[in-house]
Amino acid sequence: MSLPPATLPPEYLPLKRKVMSEHKSEFASLRKQDIPLRLMEIITFLFVWLGGAALTLFALNLSQFFIRIPLQAIGIFLCGLSFFVFFLEVHEGMHNILFKNKFLNDFVSFLFCLPLFMSLTGAVVLHLRHHRYVGEEQDPDEYRFYAKTKLGLWLLYYGRVFIAPLIYVFLIPILGYRHSTPRQRMRLILEWMAMLCIYAFIFTRIPFSVLLLVWLIPTSVTGFLVGLWGLAQHALTQAGDPLLTSRSIHANPLVSFCFINQNYHFEHHLFPEIPSYHLKRVYEISWKELPYALSSDSYLGFLREFIKLSFKLEDKPIGYTEIIGW
């Protein structure tokens, strides 16, 4: 069964038509999948993970503490970064733009969920609700509807970076099951049965000390990056205005590469059918068509503003930008 397509909130449609009005042919080409480019992404970060794992295990045998610890830290970070990219590839799969072939799209998405202990079907159900109801009460990622006080909201924001990814491992299948159709529920159950069998095989065949260094500890890095990515794109936005419900980070090329261009998140919400490797071009086209938007020049810049507002418990949009020419 192929994953369902993302739905677009009605208020996005006029904006989308406006952006596309003078670039229809180019947007048609941007919707096309570039399989060699996708494979390059995946192979690159598979090798990054292998290199990080090899460096971590190599450093394990070094006697010099001041050499061993830094090398292990680098290796663990590289493994965690790779798992983060695998998570972003799953995000592509949720929108059926990882691969053209539906079976391959779903199967590879499932494989990339394994290092993250993540239910694919549960994540798809919740993520497409997020796209359909972004910023509204039905949006599972809108924390304002969970918090009763400003302090509670800010605790949820900080929790999103440091502990939410761990909690989501348990919440995604539960909440996904609650909002699923009977067919999706069956798929979710079968997925978890398959995952438990795979985990049982791995943990009985590979020493736990090895798994700890090249998989389990690195997922803490992955969790932080996933939390930062989610926080930067939707925290401290303004619900009700499609231009202000999501934020793009106009990061440097290296960061954009490590985020496989999914730092262009407003553009993704406007065109969820376009693969991430084309989102920078979508930004170049669409930005000049907008009167205003939310953006930041870096994740560190966003974090600085985020921390400043947290001291005051202020809940206001970060990165409001009026577009020159309007």
237-250: per-residue pLDDT in tens?
988 888 899 999 99
Number of domains in the chain: 1
79 vs 54: CA distance, rounded Å: 10
Residue 123 has a pLDDT of 95
Please state the φ and ψ torsions of residue 156, each to the nearest 5 degrees.
-65, -40
305 vs 214: CA distance, rounded Å: 34
Does 7 reside within a domain? no
- CA distances to 1, 79, 192 from 103, rounded to whole Å, are 8, 27, 18
Residue 8 has a pLDDT of 63
248 vs 295: CA distance, rounded Å: 5
Q: Tell me the percentage of the chain whose pLDDT exceeds 70.
A: 96
Does 97 reside within a domain? yes
For residues 148-153, average pLDDT:
93
For residues 162-175, average pLDDT:
87
97 vs 173: CA distance, rounded Å: 23
Q: Give the domain extent around 128.
A: 35-313
For residues 190-201, average pLDDT:
97
pLDDT, tens only, 32-72 = 999 999 999 999 999 999 999 999 999 998 988 889 999 99
Please give the biggest Cα pair distance in the chain: 64
Does 1 reside within a domain? no
Residue 23 has a pLDDT of 83
On the question of pLDDT at 11 being above 90, the answer is: no
- CA distances to 62, 74, 77, 218 from 59, rounded to whole Å, are 5, 10, 14, 15
Does 23 reside within a domain? no
Decide: 303 and 284 in contact? Cβ < 8 Å: no
At a CB cut-off of 8 Å and minimum separation 6, what does 224 contact? Answer: 161, 162, 165
Beta bridge partners of 295: 248
Does 280 reside within a domain? yes
Does 19 reside within a domain? no
Please state the φ and ψ torsions of residue 321, each to the nearest 5 degrees.
-130, 125
Question: Per the structure block, which two tokens stand in for 316?
Answer: 């206001």
User: How many CB atoms sit inside 10 A of residue 9's CB?
Assistant: 16
Residue 209 has a pLDDT of 95
pLDDT, tens only, 255-285 = 999 999 999 999 999 999 999 999 999 999 9
Does 301 reside within a domain? yes
For residues 154-166, average pLDDT:
89
Decide: 259 and 88 in contact? Cβ < 8 Å: yes
Residue 6 has a pLDDT of 54
Does 16 reside within a domain? no
pLDDT, tens only, 73-118 = 999 999 999 999 999 999 999 999 999 999 999 999 999 999 999 9
Band (1; pLDDT cuts 50, 70, 90): very low
Residue 169 has a pLDDT of 86
pLDDT, tens only, 15-33 = 778 778 878 889 999 999 9
